[in-house]
Amino acid sequence: MKLYNENNPAPNPRRVRIFLAEKGISIPFVHIPMRQGAHKSPEFMLKNSLGQVPVLELDDGSTLSESIAICRYLEELHPAPALFGEDAWQRARVEMWTRRIEFGLMSRIGAVWINTHKYTAHLGTQYKDFGEASRDRAVKAMHWLNGELQDREFLALERYSMADIVALTTLDFGAFIGIDMPAELEHLGAWHARVSARPSAVA
C-alpha cells in the first residue's frame, strides 16, 4: 500500500497524514509535485481521473481517491483509536461535522483560492467578486464555529475525531491563502491551539 501525496500547504493529503499519525500507522509516500503538474500527468490520471491528490494505491494496483474515503478505509483496517466514532451516534456526529466543515468552510475557502489567488490564475477565468464573497462567507462560518466551540473541546465528540482533522487542515489552508481566523474568536482560537499542539499536527 502507498499514498500519493503532496506536501503542505496542500490540505487534502495532510488530512490523511494527520490521520495516519494519530493511528500510529506508517505507509510509504510517493511525492506528486503539483507545481510541476505531476497530478495531471497521463500516468497519474489513470490513478485518479480528476488528477487530484491524495490517492491510496493497494498492493494489487487498485486505487482509492478522496481523503475521507481513504481514511475510512484505513479506519476499517486499524480500528483504534476510532477517529470516525465508536457507535452509531458518534459515527453520525463525526459525519455531520465533517460535512459541515467541507460544505460550510472548505467550499468557501476553495472558492477564494480558485477565484482570487495568484497561484491559481493560470487555471482559467477567475471570478473575483465570487471569490471575495466567498471570503466573507468563510469568515462568517468561522464566527459560527466559534459559537459552537464555546462549551466543548472538540468539534464532533468529547474527544478528537476526523472532524477535527478536516477543520484543522481547512483553517490552516485558509490562513495560507490569507483568510485568517479573526483574533476575537477565542473559542475557535483555543480549539485551534489544542489540536495544533497534538504531535500529529506537524504532519
Residue 23, all three cell numbers: 493511528
Q: Nearest approach, Cβ of 73 to ligand GSH (angstroms)?
A: 13
Closest residue to ligand GSH, based on beta-carbon distance: 52
Q: Is 39 in the site for ligand GSH (CB under 6 A)?
A: yes
Q: Which of 67, 98, 170, 200 binds ligand GSH (CB under 6 A)?
A: 67
Neighbour-count burial of 142, counting CB atoms closer than 10 A to its CB (0-12 exposed, 13-18 middle, 19+ buried): buried
CB-based burial, 15-40: b 16+ in 10 Å, e otherwise: bbbbbbbbbeeeeebeebebeeebbe
User: How many residues make contact with ligand GSH (CB under 6 A)?
Assistant: 12
Q: Which of 3, 4, 5, 10 binds ligand GSH (CB under 6 A)?
A: 10
User: What span, in angstroms and rounded, lies between the C-alpha atoms of 150 and 74?
Assistant: 32
Q: Nearest approach, Cβ of 55 to ligand GSH (angstroms)?
A: 8
Q: Which stretch binds ligand GSH (CB under 6 A): 47-55, 128-136, 148-156, 188-196?
A: 47-55
Q: Nearest approach, Cβ of 48 to ligand GSH (angstroms)?
A: 8
Q: Is 11 in the site for ligand GSH (CB under 6 A)?
A: yes
**CA neighbor of 53 nearest in space, from 63, 41, 67, 72:** 67
Q: Is 134 in the site for ligand GSH (CB under 6 A)?
A: no
Q: Is 98 in the site for ligand GSH (CB under 6 A)?
A: no
For 100, the enclosing helix (H) or strand (E) is: helix 88-101
Q: Is 66 in the site for ligand GSH (CB under 6 A)?
A: yes
| 133 touches 171 (CB < 8 A) | no
**Where do contacts with ligand GSH occur on this chain (CB under 6 A)?**
6, 10-12, 39, 51-54, 66-68
